Structure 1
Amino acid sequence: MISKMDEVIERAVIAHRLDTITQEMSYALERSSRSPIFAEACDFACGICDGNGDLVSQINGIPILAAAGTFSVKEVIRKYRNQIAEGDVFIINDPYRGGNHLPDIGIITPLVVDKEPLFYCVSRAHHGDIGGSVAGSYNSKATEIFQEGLRIPPIKLISQGNLIQEVMDLITQNVRNPQMLQNDLWSQIGANKIGTARLDELIHNYSAAKLKETTKHLLGHAEKLTRQAIANMPDGDYFGEEWVDDDGFQANPIKIKVKVIIRGEEMTLDFQGTDAQVKGFVNSALVTSTTAAWIGALWALGPDIPRNSGAFRVIQVNLPEGSLLNPHDPAPVTLSTLTPASEIISAIFQALSAPAKERLPAGFGRYCGPSFYGVDPRNQEFYVGFAFCALGSGGGIWGRDGYPYMAPLSNFGGVRSPNIEANELQYPHLTLCHEMEIDSAGAGKWRGGPGIRYSLQFYGEPTNIVMFGDGMKIPPFALASGKPGSLNYVELLTPDEEKIPLASKESPRTLTKGAVLTMVSSGGGGWGDPWQREPESVWQDVLNGVISRTKARTDYGVVIDEGGVDWAGTKKLRAIS
C-alpha cells in the first residue's frame, strides 16, 4: 500500500519528468533546425497536452506561443475525433482555427496507447516565410488574412507513420524558402517524436492509468493554487487601458480596455469597451488574445502557479466579437503576437497594479523593426531576415531595475538576440553599432532597462525592408510615480546622406547598396519615485552610460561632478522638491 508521502513524491517526480521532456523537445528543436529564427533566436515553444487537449506542461520559451498549444490540440481533436491513430502527425497555423498567426506553425503528435490518445506533444515555431504578398509574411498593408500567407487548418501531415507528400508539397510550394521551411518542419516533427518516446517510457515505468490520474491531479492542483491567489486579492472591479499607436492606415491610437472583476475565487477579464477591429494587421484573433490575457493575469497572481490548463480554468476572458481582440475572419492579424498581445498584458498590469502590489513591473518596450529580404550577392540565394538585435527593454519593478533586451512583454525575453558575427555571415549586411542608448530608460526608484541603438549597413543590391511594430507614439507606462520609458525610433540613411525617419508600419521599401538603417528601441518604464533612488546607483548609471549628468539632475535630483556624487548639492536639490 503506497503511503500518502510516497504518493506526493511520486506525483512530483512525474510532474518534473513532464517538464524535462518539454525541455528536451526544445533542445532538439533548437539544435536540429536550419533557420536562424529557430536555431539562434529560438522563436518557438514546446508543450505537452493530455488526451483532452488540456496543457499540462510547457517550457519557458515564448509565452504567447506555449499557452496557445491547447487551442491547436483541441481543434485537432474536434476535427479528427475517433480518427487519430498511432504514428499520426498534424499541422496547423490558421489563427481562426486554433493558431496564433500564420508564420507560427504548430506540429502536433499524439501518443496513442491501446487506440486511445493519452498525450499530445506540441511544438509551435515561427517560420521565416509562410508566403503571402510580402517576403517574411509581415505585410503591414494587408487588409485581409489572404494577403498574409498560406492558411493551414488542422490537417494530417503524416498518417500512421507515412508522410502525406501532397500536403508537404502544397505547403512548400507556397513559400519562398521551401527547403528551409521543410527542414524546420522536420525539426519540429523530430522534437515531438522525442517527446512521445519519452512519454512512452514514462507510461511503461508507471502505467497509463497512473499518468492519467497524475495529470488530472496536476491540473486540479494548479486550479486550486489559482483560486487561492485570486481569493487573496480584494474583491472589486479594476480598470486598465492601453493603446496601440495605429494600424498603418489611420493615424489614431486604438484603445484596449479591460475590467478585471474579482469575486471570491473567480476572476473575469472583460474587454468590453475595446475599439472595433481595424483595417490593418494589428487585429488579434481569439487564441492570441485569450493567451495574452492568461499571461497577464497569472503574472499578477504570482510565479508559484503552474502555467497549465488548470490555472486557465479559473480565469474567464470576455472578448467582444468584432473588436480589435476578436475580429471577424478574414481580418489580418500577423502583428498580433507582438502588438496587441503585449498591450493586452500591459492593460491588465495597469488594472491590477494596486491589488497585486509589488509583483508587477512597469511597462516594457514594444518591438519595432524591419524584416529584410533579397538575393545575397555572395551566393545568389534568396534570404529573409529579421532585426532581433533591436529588442526593447523591460520595466522596473519593486526592488529591481528593469532588464535590458526583455521586450516585448508577450515574449518576455524568450527570443534571443542572435550573434552579430553569425548574422553577418547569414545576411548581406554589416553591423555598425549595437549598444545601450543613453537616457532611454524610464526614471524611477527602480528604473527601466535602457533601449538599444542598432545600426546595419546593407550591401546586397537591391535589399528590401518592411517595417512592422509599434511604440513610436505610446511609451512604456510607469508605475508608482515613476516616469515612462522612451519611444522607438527608426531612421534610414541613404548613400547620398539623406536621413529618412521611418514609420512603424510601412510597405516594402527598396534600399540601394550602402544604405544604413538605425533602430533605437524603447527603454522600459520606471517604478517608484526617481528622487528616492539611491544617489550611488544614479552615479553608477552615469558611469555606465545609462543616463547623462543632466538626466541625473533633472529626473533624479542627483548632482554629479567629476568625482562622483555631490552630496551637498544633491541634498539641497532634493530638499527643494
Structure 2
Amino acid sequence: MTSSPSKNAPDGVQMAMISSRMETIARKMQNTIFRTARSGILNTAHDFSCVVLTADCQMLSAAESLPNHTLIGPDLMCQAVLKHHPIMKRGDCFLHNSPYEGNSHAADHCMIVPVVDDGGVLRFFVLAKAHQADCGNSRPSTYLADVKDVYEEGALIFSATKIQEDYRTNQDIVRMCESRIRVPDQWWGDFLATLGSVRIGERELLALGDELGWDALEGYASRWFDYSEQKMIQAISKLTTGKITLHSAHDPFLGLPDGIPVKVEVEIDAENARITVDLTDNPDCQPCGLNLTEATSKSAAMIGIFNALLDHRVIPNSGSFRRIDVRLRENCCVGIPRHPASCSVATTNLADHVTNPVQRAIAELSAGYGQAATGPIQPPGMGVISGRDPHNKDEPFINQVHIGVSGGAGTPVTDGFLSIIHAGNAGMCRIDSVEVDELHHPILIDDRHLIEDSEGAGTYRGAPSIYSEYGPWGGSELTILYAADGTVTPAAGTRGGGSGGTCRAAMRKVDGSVVELPPCHGITLKAGEKIISHSASGGGYGVPTERDPARVIHDLAEGWISLERARDVYGVAVVGSRATDDLALDPVGTEKLRSKGRPLAAAS
C-alpha cells in the first residue's frame, strides 16, 4: 500500500536532486572505507557496504553496495539497536554483528550511527558493514562451514553494543577484540575506517538537514518510497502470472552425505503486482555453518527477483520491497535461525540455492525475463589464507583472496557476467590483482586463466570457469581454508540452456603430481606446493543452437570454447583457424549443422 504524500514532499526535480545527494553521502562513506581500510578483503576485494536509513528503519539509499548486505538486513539491525537502546543520542555508535538479530554473518561487522538533530530528534541512521578478514573464529577464517554450532564457530558476536558514546570509544570492547583477533593491528585499521565512514555519513546528513530542513527530507523519503514502489509495480506487471516450485541442493557435506535440499516456491501475481517466495517447506537448521540468517534468507530471495526483472529503473529500497513477500519459518536452514545454530557462511553457499531457483523460476514463467543459475561459490581461488610473513618480521597475516572466481548466469539479453563472483554480491566485490595479492602476502600466483569449454551453453551462455594456482613464497608455509559448493551439482540452465561447469580443488605436490582435495577443507602448504582451483561457471539461457554465430566465433577466437564445441553444441561451422587469426563463419555448414538439431552437450 502506498502512503499519502506529505505536505512537505518535493516535486519530481527536487526529489531527483535529493536522491542524488543521498547516494553521494553513501558513496562518500564507501570511499572512506576503500581508501583507509587495511585488510585486502576491504581495500582490494571491496567487500563492504554503506547505507542510509530513515528513523523508522527503512532502507533509503545504498549506492553501489552488495545486495546480500543491504536489501533487508540494515532494516532489521537498526530495529535491534532501537530495541536495546530506545533513547538515541548524538555521538552514539553501535557495533552489531549478531546473525540472530538481522545481520548476515558474524564476520560482517556493522557500525550503526543514529543521526540526531540539534533538538534531540532521531532523523536517520547510517550503517556501514565491513567484512572482517578475521572475526575471532576458532580457526583462522572468516567462514567456517564445518562447525556444528556457534560455540564451535567461536566468533565474537556483538548485539547492538554501544561502541561510542558522546563520540568517545569504549576501549574495553577494543581490547576485547584485539586480544581475540589474530591480526589486531589490521582489525583496528578496519575498525577506524568503518567508524570514519559512519561519522562522515552522519556529518553529511546533519549538513543536509540544516540546508534543506528535516521536514523536507522526511517528505522526500515518503515520496521516494512511493515512487520506487510504482517502478516495481510497473516491472512486475510485465511478467506472466503463475506459480512454480523449483528444487536445488547444496553438495554433500561433512556429516550431511545427502547435502542440503532447498525447495523454493515462487508465485507471480502480475495483475496485483506482487511476487511471493515461500521458503517454509525446507529442512530445520543443520549442524554446520551453512545456515542462513533471517536477513540473508529474505535478501537471497529478493536478489533473485531483482536479477530476474532486468529493469535497472527499479530502485532497491523499502518502497520497492513492499511488493515482495518472502515467507520464512523459525529454526529453518533457509529461514530464521535459532541460537545456537551457526550461520558462519550465511551470505554465500546456501543463500545462492535460494537466489538461483528464484531467478530461474521467473525465467520459466515469463519468457524474456529471469536468469539461469549463477555458479556456486567458494573454491580455493577465494579461500582464506593465513600464516606468518618471513619478510615482515614473521608477523601473522590473514585475508580472504578473490584470485579466481567467475560464475555469471546467462540472461535473455546478455552472456554471463564474468567476474560476478556469486549471485549474492552481484559483482560488487572485485577480483584481486595478482600483483597486489603478491605484494600484500607471501604468496605466488602461478596461473590464472579461463577454462576452455566450461561455460553453460545457451543462446546467451554462462560465464566460463576460472583456473587458478597459487602457493607460498619465500620459504614460508601457507594455510588455506575454503568451503566449495558445486563440485557435484553444477549451475542449472534455463529455457533450454545448459548447465555450467563444476568446482574443483586439488593440490600440486613439489614433484609436480596432483592430488584431489575435498570440497570443504583446510590445508597447510609447504614451500613448493600449490593449490589448484576451478571456479564454477554459470548456466546458459536459451537453446545453444539459437546463439548468434558471431558470438560463437568471438568465444572461439578468445579461446573460451573449442572448434568441437562450436560445432557440436552451438551448431556453428567455421573456416580458418585461431592460430592464423582468420576465423570466419561457414554459413552453409552452419545451416546444415543447425538443421540437424544436434543435442546439447554439457560443460566439461
Relative to the length of structure 2, the TM-score reads 0.91
Query: Which residue number in structure 2 is paired with residue 488 of structure 1?
Result: 503
Q: SS of the residue aligned with 1:179?
A: helix
Query: Which residue number in structure 1 is paired with residue 390 of structure 2?
Result: 377
- Choose from 423, 435, 447 the match for 1:409: 423
Q: Distance in 2 between matches of 1:294 and 1:542?
A: 36
Query: Which residue number in structure 1 is paired with residue 162 of structure 2?
Result: 156
Matched, 1:117 2:127: no
Q: CA deviation at 1:64?
A: 0.5
Aligned-pair identity in percent equals: 26
RMSD over aligned CA atoms reads: 2.0
Q: Is the 8 A contact 1:288 1:337 kept in 2?
A: yes
Q: SS of the residue aligned with 1:483?
A: coil
Q: CA deviation at 1:5?
A: 11
Q: Distance in 2 between matches of 1:455 and 1:45?
A: 30
- Choose from 459, 467, 471 the match for 2:486: 471
The 1:4/1:250 distance shift into structure 2, 3 A limit, reads: closer
Query: Which residue number in structure 2 is paired with residue 208 of structure 1?
Result: 214
Q: Is the 8 A contact 1:53 1:77 kept in 2?
A: no
Q: Distance in 2 between matches of 1:312 and 1:503?
A: 39
Query: Which residue number in structure 2 is paired with residue 528 of structure 1?
Result: 542
Q: Distance in 1 between matches of 2:301 and 2:287?
A: 23
- My pick for the range that moved more, 443-452 or 314-323, is 314-323
- My pick for the range that moved more, 306-315 or 557-566, is 557-566
Instruction: Count residues in correspondence.
Output: 574
Q: Is the 8 A contact 2:242 2:365 kept in 1?
A: no
Q: SS of the residue aligned with 1:497?
A: coil
Q: Distance in 2 between matches of 1:154 and 1:241?
A: 36
Q: Distance in 2 between matches of 1:372 and 1:233?
A: 44
Equivalence map 1:108-257=2 (5 Å): 108-113=112-117, 114-148=119-153, 149-257=155-263
Q: Distance in 2 between matches of 1:359 and 1:173?
A: 50
Matched, 1:285 2:299: no
- Choose from 537, 553, 559 the match for 1:545: 559
Matched, 1:37 2:41: yes
Q: Is the 8 A contact 1:338 1:469 kept in 2?
A: no
- Choose from 594, 598, 601 the match for 1:574: 594
The 1:216/1:466 distance shift into structure 2, 3 A limit, reads: same
Equivalence map 1:449-464=2 (5 Å): 449-459=463-473, 460-464=475-479
Q: SS of the residue aligned with 2:204?
A: helix
Q: CA deviation at 1:231?
A: 4.1
- My pick for the range that moved more, 447-456 or 3-12, is 3-12
Q: Distance in 1 between matches of 2:224 and 2:444?
A: 49
- My pick for the range that moved more, 446-455 or 36-45, is 446-455
- Choose from 310, 320, 339 the match for 2:329: 320
Could you list the per-position Cα deviations for residues 220-262 of structure 1 after superposition, in whole angstroms to 9, with x for gaps in the alignment?
2223333443344344322222221133322213221122233
Q: Is the 8 A contact 1:246 1:252 kept in 2?
A: yes
The 1:396/1:300 distance shift into structure 2, 3 A limit, reads: closer
Matched, 1:349 2:365: no
Q: Is the 8 A contact 2:266 2:277 kept in 1?
A: yes
Query: Which residue number in structure 1 is paired with residue 571 of structure 2?
Result: 557
Q: Distance in 2 between matches of 1:472 and 1:93?
A: 30
Q: Distance in 1 between matches of 2:560 and 2:435?
A: 25
The 1:530/1:266 distance shift into structure 2, 3 A limit, reads: closer
Q: CA deviation at 1:199?
A: 0.8
Q: Distance in 1 between matches of 2:303 and 2:571?
A: 36
Q: Is the 8 A contact 1:46 1:59 kept in 2?
A: yes
Query: Which residue number in structure 2 is paired with residue 392 of structure 1?
Result: 406
Which one-letter code corresponds to 2:279 in the other structure?
Answer: F
Q: CA deviation at 1:115?
A: 1.2
Could you list the per-position Cα deviations for residues 431-481 of structure 1 after superposition, in whole angstroms to 9, with x for gaps in the alignment?
111111111111111111111111103235332121213111111111221
Q: Distance in 1 between matches of 2:253 and 2:61?
A: 35
Q: Is the 8 A contact 2:401 2:432 kept in 1?
A: no
Which one-letter code corresponds to 1:342 in the other structure?
Answer: D
Q: Distance in 2 between matches of 1:542 and 1:8?
A: 48
Could you list the per-position Cα deviations for residues 7-54 of structure 1 after superposition, in whole angstroms to 9, with x for gaps in the alignment?
221122111111111011111110011111111110000000111111
Q: Is the 8 A contact 1:240 1:349 kept in 2?
A: no
Which one-letter code corresponds to 1:358 in the other structure?
Answer: G
- Choose from 95, 99, 102 the match for 1:95: 99
Q: CA deviation at 1:356?
A: 4.0
Q: SS of the residue aligned with 1:300?
A: helix
Q: SS of the residue aligned with 1:340?
A: helix
Q: Distance in 1 between matches of 2:320 and 2:238?
A: 15
Q: Distance in 2 between matches of 1:428 and 1:319?
A: 44
Q: Distance in 2 between matches of 1:111 and 1:282?
A: 35
Q: Is the 8 A contact 2:132 2:142 kept in 1?
A: no
The 1:271/1:547 distance shift into structure 2, 3 A limit, reads: same
Q: CA deviation at 1:419?
A: 1.4
Q: Distance in 1 between matches of 2:236 and 2:74?
A: 24
Q: SS of the residue aligned with 2:346?
A: helix
Q: Distance in 1 between matches of 2:192 and 2:332?
A: 37
Q: CA deviation at 1:171?
A: 2.1
Matched, 1:262 2:296: no
Q: Is the 8 A contact 1:396 1:446 kept in 2?
A: yes
Gaps of 5+ in 2: 1-5, 577-582, 598-604
Q: CA deviation at 1:321?
A: 2.0
Gaps of 5+ in 1: none
Q: Is the 8 A contact 2:10 2:220 kept in 1?
A: no
Which one-letter code corresponds to 1:72 in the other structure?
Answer: M
Q: SS of the residue aligned with 1:158?
A: strand
Could you list the per-position Cα deviations for residues 130-158 of structure 1 after superposition, in whole angstroms to 9, with x for gaps in the alignment?
01211023223211112321111111000
The 1:6/1:176 distance shift into structure 2, 3 A limit, reads: closer
Q: SS of the residue aligned with 1:390?
A: coil
Query: Which residue number in structure 2 is paired with residue 424 of structure 1?
Result: 438
Could you list the per-position Cα deviations for residues 33-82 of structure 1 after superposition, in whole angstroms to 9, with x for gaps in the alignment?
11111111100000001111111110222110122222111110111012
Q: SS of the residue aligned with 2:315?
A: coil
Which one-letter code corresponds to 1:168 in the other structure?
Answer: V
Query: Which residue number in structure 2 is paired with residue 334 of structure 1?
Result: 344
Q: SS of the residue aligned with 2:590?
A: helix
Could you list the per-position Cα deviations for residues 317-358 of structure 1 after superposition, in whole angstroms to 9, with x for gaps in the alignment?
111222211232111111220111222111111221134432
Which one-letter code corresponds to 1:494 in the other structure?
Answer: K
Query: Which residue number in structure 2 is paired with residue 81 of structure 1?
Result: 86
The 1:50/1:408 distance shift into structure 2, 3 A limit, reads: same
Equivalence map 1:23-62=2 (5 Å): 23-62=27-66
Q: CA deviation at 1:211?
A: 0.8
Q: Distance in 1 between matches of 2:168 and 2:348?
A: 36
Which one-letter code corresponds to 2:133 in the other structure?
Answer: G
Could you list the per-position Cα deviations for residues 191-211 of structure 1 after superposition, in whole angstroms to 9, with x for gaps in the alignment?
111111111111111111111
Q: Is the 8 A contact 2:390 2:476 kept in 1?
A: yes
Could you list the per-position Cα deviations for residues 252-296 of structure 1 after superposition, in whole angstroms to 9, with x for gaps in the alignment?
132211222334233321113223322211111111111112222
Q: CA deviation at 1:403?
A: 2.1
Query: Which residue number in structure 1 is paired with residue 318 of structure 2?
Result: 309
Q: CA deviation at 1:412?
A: 1.0
Q: CA deviation at 1:387?
A: 3.1
Query: Which residue number in structure 2 is paired with residue 499 of structure 1?
Result: 514
Q: CA deviation at 1:398?
A: 1.7
Q: Distance in 2 between matches of 1:536 and 1:417?
A: 28
- Choose from 360, 364, 382 the match for 2:374: 364
Query: Which residue number in structure 1 is paired with residue 3 of structure 2?
Result: none
